[in-house]
Structure 1
Amino acid sequence: MRALLVVNPKATTTSEYNRDLLIRALRGTVDLRLEYTMRRGHAVSLVRDAARDGVDLVVTLGGDGTVNEAVNGLLAADPAGTEGAAYGAARRPRLAVVPGGSTNVFARAVGLPRDWAEATQVILGALRDDRTRTIGVGRADDRYFTFCAGLGLDAEVVRRVERARLKGRVSTSGLYIRSAVAQYFTETDRKTPGMTLSRSGFPDELGLASAIVQNTAPWTYLGEREIHASVDASFDTGLDVLGIKVLRVPSTARLASQLLRGRARISGKQVMIVHDVYSFVLRAERPMALQLDGDYLGERGKVEFVAVPEAIRVVC
């Protein structure tokens, strides 16, 4: 079996030690080629080219951003696109994810241990047993995502965290919490909600201030704590949307307390929840921040979301 290992050397918990151990472990099972990412977006081209060259397995060592790029590379390599996705998943290389970032939402969502060494053992066992799980992904315009997307406040927080990391700050739960509080009180426009959600066959949802899109649950983690915007989201269904109608302090505080309750369902007049939808559009009166899988992608005035079922096979 031919395999490509993509390593992000800048990922939060990736080190030469665990990289070298992982390489030795994989070389006992597969014909391995190693590549390092050198810049943002590099993993997309590395994986795309390897898939077109006929590699059987792609392994990532990094965080959720590296996983996202690998998935985009796998899907970009398929000339048939994502039509007939189940057939496409069967012919695409398999994906194995070794957690090496700060949060590792995707790896944990597919059932892998948070510890990289334990996850490696699970992956090696799955390779021996030929065990995979086929999952769906989401697409925002021309970019795929694995577990979440956001337009508005949560993407603004991601942008703020990325700026802090460029200044040398380490990505931690504390950094995200402090960034969220600072962003909400000092920069976010909390007075003029101007986002609309449109989907075929339903009236438009008007006056949204922010939106979180989930492809699985949980939405994210704070350390070991699961954070759920929609507990019903699943890799096996369409997309779920949590639309936040207002960002006033009392209602936002209530929403934050609900999000921190683990698997409690979000409710209240300040939110709108859509479950298992396969296509919709978010439009904003002014460009708003967009994030996919925890990566900030700039500001958009319109984003078309599509659920792509049975898109990739994950070794887990």
Structure 2
Amino acid sequence: MKRARLIYNPTSGREEMRRRLPDILQRLDEAGIEATCHATTGEGDATRAAADAVERGGYDLIIAAGGDGTLNEVINGMAEKENLPPLGYFPVGTTNDFARAMGIPRNWEDCCNLIIRGELRPIDVGKANDRYFVNIAGGGKLTELTYEVPSKLKTMIGQLAYYLKGIEKMTNLSPTELIIQAEGQEMLHDEFMMFLIANTNSVGGFEKLAPGARIDDGLFDVIALKKCNLPEFVRLVTLALRGEHLNDPHVVYFRTDYMEVTSPAHVQLNLDGELGGVLPATFQMLPQHLRIFA
């Protein structure tokens, strides 16, 4: 028997994981994987549980179950450790950007089969100051909506909660002064609506926002939106839906494995949809740092 530690968020995806847990455990057990469970109790708990599982040893794999935030916490618990076991993921959150980019199915039976088959893929991990992310990092007013939506509201109405928060944010669009210094790029000092550092091509449900981003190429795809008014912003969103926004004069786009961002203003960081501290920040790539079933 292989041993697995399953760390799950009982409130993710309208509490789907809580309902499916017995079936998942039975399916894994039938395939020779004995899983013990940890239900998260609040912010940071998944990080502590993942770190404890790696430190204790004896686990052949760790499985995260929840949304992008739960996955981010589990990776933050693992990333600093040595001799890391592979990571499985059941995407039962609201947006599931990372799973969409990696082709990880939402159906629990298909997820179990993916883990049972043992198909592993190395993935890059980004580091922002002392925190880690696998999908997206960013800053600016529009990046705040993902962690400002209450978890109870996401449980009740799902993706609609983000749309409602986004409409609220659009009425208060304001630029932020940013200084961006990146390896191989000229320094940028301008007013920006937001900046995004993508590690995959799926960001906030937009699958063409960073169309060239790859999880294993050792590079970030950086997109920064310069100061614009509401009609210009709406036009850019329309272009982004088709993947035609990167050549717009309001958009700065480049690729790098290291960058620093500072600002005279108070700018919060978004890491995989969760609050990840404030600027200033240093972002560096850790190429193929983890292995994941995908």
TM-score under structure 1 length normalisation: 0.85
* Counterpart residue number, 1:244: 225
C-alpha displacement of 1:265 = 5.0
What whole-Å deviation, never above 9, does each CA across 1:37-68 have from its counterpart, x for those lacking one?
11111111111111122222001121111111
The residue type paired with residue 199 of structure 2 is N
Contact persistence 1:208–1:243 (CA under 8 A)? no
* Counterpart residue number, 2:84: 92
* Counterpart residue number, 1:116: 108
* Counterpart residue number, 1:57: 61
107 and 202 in structure 1: CA distance in 2 versus 1, 3 angstrom threshold: closer
- Matching of residue 148 in structure 1 with residue 131 in structure 2: no
* Counterpart residue number, 2:71: 67
1:219 to 203, 217, 220: 203
What whole-Å deviation, never above 9, does each CA across 1:209-251 have from its counterpart, x for those lacking one?
1101100112231xxxx43322111112211110011131132
109 and 267 in structure 1: CA distance in 2 versus 1, 3 angstrom threshold: same
Report the Cα distance in structure 1 between the residues aligned to 2:123 and 2:51, rounded to whole angstroms.
19
The residue type paired with residue 139 of structure 1 is K
* Counterpart residue number, 1:185: 171
* Aligned-residue identity in percent: 26
C-alpha displacement of 1:184 = 2.2
* Counterpart residue number, 2:288: 310
Contact persistence 1:244–1:270 (CA under 8 A)? yes
Report the Cα distance in structure 1 between the residues aligned to 2:147 and 2:71, rounded to whole angstroms.
19
2:259 to 273, 280, 287: 280
- Matching of residue 105 in structure 1 with residue 97 in structure 2: yes
Report the Cα distance in structure 1 between the residues aligned to 2:6 and 2:254, rounded to whole angstroms.
37
- For 2:73, what is the secondary structure of its paired residue? helix
What whole-Å deviation, never above 9, does each CA across 1:16-44 have from its counterpart, x for those lacking one?
33111111112222132111111111111
96 and 269 in structure 1: CA distance in 2 versus 1, 3 angstrom threshold: same
Contact persistence 1:153–1:184 (CA under 8 A)? no
Report the Cα distance in structure 1 between the residues aligned to 2:144 and 2:75, rounded to whole angstroms.
24
Report the Cα distance in structure 1 between the residues aligned to 2:162 and 2:114, rounded to whole angstroms.
30
Contact persistence 1:285–1:301 (CA under 8 A)? no
| Aligned-CA RMSD value | 1.9
What whole-Å deviation, never above 9, does each CA across 1:128-170 have from its counterpart, x for those lacking one?
xxx20001011111111011111013322224323xx356763
Number of residue pairs matched by the alignment: 288
TM-score under structure 2 length normalisation: 0.91
- For 1:306, what is the secondary structure of its paired residue? strand
Q: Structure 1: where are the runs of 5+ without partners?
A: 79-90
Report the Cα distance in structure 2 between the residues aligned to 1:42 and 1:243, rounded to whole angstroms.
32
- For 2:43, what is the secondary structure of its paired residue? coil
The residue type paired with residue 283 of structure 2 is F
159 and 27 in structure 1: CA distance in 2 versus 1, 3 angstrom threshold: same
- For 2:210, what is the secondary structure of its paired residue? coil
Report the Cα distance in structure 1 between the residues aligned to 2:163 and 2:233, rounded to whole angstroms.
14
* Counterpart residue number, 1:233: 213
The residue type paired with residue 43 of structure 1 is A
C-alpha displacement of 1:75 = 1.2
Q: Structure 2: where are the runs of 5+ without partners?
A: none
